[in-house]
Structure 1
Amino acid sequence: MYSAAVGVVDNVYGGEDGGSVVESFQASNNVTNYVWMLKYVDVDIDYARWLGWLFTPVLAMFILPSVILILLYLSALFLYIYKWHRHRLLDAYERDFWEGGRKSLAALWDAQGWLWHGFEVVGLDNIPEDGPALIVFYHGAIPIDFYYVLSKCILFKGRLIRCVGDRFLFQVPGWSLLMEAFKVLPGTVQSCASILKDGNVLAIAPGGVFEAQFGNSSYQLLWKNRVGFAKVALEAKVPIIPMFTQNIREAFRSFSWGMRFWRWLYAKTHLPLVPIYGFFPVKMKTYIGKPIPYDPNNTPEMLAQQAAHAIENLIKEHQRVPGSVFHALIERFYKKEVSKSA
């Protein structure tokens, strides 16, 4: 540790003439101060290393979710570039200008889901090749599972799933082009029914941002008696397709402390401000259930209850409750079936 200091001492007293006494005294004081500084700097370095070891995992949990945000912005940047060259590409895509951009992004997101989560879909055939249907799904902290299912539908079924998004999404800088390209809409009962009557597939998460923020590893539905999606299905006379993704709450998690404060803040702002951490490389598998056929005798309340029960059955059959990041990681790399009971 003190080799540098010894070198300084040799330089001070090892000259041919030795220098003046005053210079030697000043040099001696400098050496003393230098050695004293080394001791305390060394202590600070050790302390800094300890702090780094302590807080690196915590920081990583908050930094990793930003990867999804970066991917979304990169997706938007790709679409801006795509739009810039639209005149050169119009001949290639005669029906829909955005089709090429959507398929390119779908390929990227599909690859990311396979590499990071070993993502799979069971029951993709339950989404019709043509004609309308309403997909109802459980909303994770970040609905990354829907991005993956959307990508697979675009690539393997040639269908775009229209989606209802919260109004705040349309205010996020740089995302307007994503909303336009993938035809996301804020959605009223009338506008959603109109989309379905035009023969499209539409996806709605009845729990919305509330379920995203305040749901947890118990996987309880937080729909708050919402029946708007059921009114849409009844008005458009279409089947409802239930969908749930295993370990979606283990991929990203929202903070569970201070819930009273966060609920109060959400009631005031209607913005998703609860901190999110994660992006763990857990196994994710989406299960698409059998369609619930249109029944004119159903009321919105009855149909909403049927859809809730269908998703709860998917959760009961395929999800360990309470969820565990550790076991979800095991499922990512080890194919053996893990018991769903804790």
Structure 2
Amino acid sequence: MNKDQETDSYSKIWEKPRRFIAHIVDTYGKIWHGFELTGTENLPKGPGIIIYHHAVAPLGYILFVARYFLERERMCYSLMHRFGHWMPGLQMFFYVIGLKFYKQAEIVQIMKKGHLLGISPGGAREAMYSHDYSFMWGKRTGFARAAMEAKVPIIPIFTQNNCETYRTIGKTRLTQWLYDKTRCMYLPIYGGFPVKLRTFIGEPIPYDPNITAVELAERVKTALENLRDKHQKRPGNILRALSERFDKHYKAD
């Protein structure tokens, strides 16, 4: 694999494997979750950063990436946890779908090449320990700094019922302390429930040279919170999310 392939994995060689994977994922989403995607008109034709809440399994985001690729024939790169590279035998699969632990300079480079890239600022900590769709970003502003450096918009997306697909057992101060110290995930996961999933794409937050990265990050967080509050009933409930598979009267607005 040469250096150009490493920095830009969108190669004709991988187009058919990507399409095959996207079809499998999209079919799974349609059958198991009745997946719906709303607000695609808010996606830029050029580069941008997608920001989303990280559930235990970020199925909404994964289904969005697959549907986006099939409908737009554009790849959305994705930032993964650095420990994801420890998974044996999956490096080539991650490469094909553009999933990697990118450094900030690489993120900016992807933007400058005209691509979209998805980031969850809360990451694995949010996936394991957030409560009822809360955001655990801390003081993370790297995504905002990357967007400002590349001069691209940030697009918030939110998936209804995402936290009802899989859940964890054992959220305690001790296990959270262990994660903070080691960055390893200890909690058992259960689920796979066929709940209704709807992903909503919010309005893009444009590049603004007159604000700081901290202000931009806070603006993005507020936009995500607004999407959540508009489309998610809280507290989350698995039975209700299952029943929404049969709700024919739901309106996105």
- Is 1:241 aligned to residue 155 of structure 2? yes
Q: Which of 27, 32, 38 is the equivalent residue of 1:122? A: 38
1:229 to 143, 151, 165: 143
Q: Percent identity?
A: 40
Q: CA RMSD in A?
A: 1.5
- TM, length-normalised to structure 2: 0.92
Match in the other structure for 1:316: 229
Q: How does 1:68-147 map to 2 (within 5 A)?
A: 96-129=12-45, 131-147=46-62
Q: Which stretches in structure 2 are left out of the alignment for 5+ residues?
A: 1-9
Question: Which secondary structure state, in structure 1, belongs to the residue aligned with residue 13 of structure 2?
Answer: coil
Q: Deviations over 1:165-212 (max 9, x none)?
A: 111111101210111111222122221111101111111000000000
Distance 1:197 1:119, change over 3 A: same
- Runs of 4+ aligned residues of structure 1 deviating over 2 Å after TM superposition are 334-338
How many residue pairs match? The answer is 242
1:133-186 C-alpha deviation (Å, 9 max, x unpaired): 110111110112121111111100011001111111111012101111112221
**For residues 95 and 167 of structure 1, what CA distance do their matches in structure 2 show?**
24
Task: Report the equivalent of 1:213.
Answer: 128
Q: Which residue does 1:64 correspond to in 2?
A: none
1:98 counterpart SS class: helix
1: distance between equivalents of 2:167 and 2:250? 23
Tell me, what secondary structure is at the counterpart of 1:308? helix
Residues 99 and 249 (structure 1), Cα distance of their counterparts in 2 relative to 1, 3 Å cut: same
Answer 1 or 2: higher relative contact order, Cα 8 Å, separation at least 6.
2
Q: Is the 8 A contact 2:49 2:155 kept in 1?
A: yes
In 1: Cα distance, 2:11 partner to 2:145 partner? 32
1:110 counterpart letter in structure 2: D
Deviation at 1:258, TM superposition (A): 4.5
Judge conservation of contact 1:141–1:215 (CA < 8 Å) in 2. no
Between structure 1 and structure 2, the one with the greater Rg is 1
Alpha-carbon deviations, 1:97-123, whole Å to 9, x = none? 111000011001100000000000001
| TM-score, L = length of structure 1 | 0.68
TM-superposed deviation, 1:334: 2.3
Q: Which structure has the highest helix share of the two?
A: 1
Determine helix, strand or coil for the equivalent of 1:97.
helix
Deviation at 1:267, TM superposition (A): 2.2
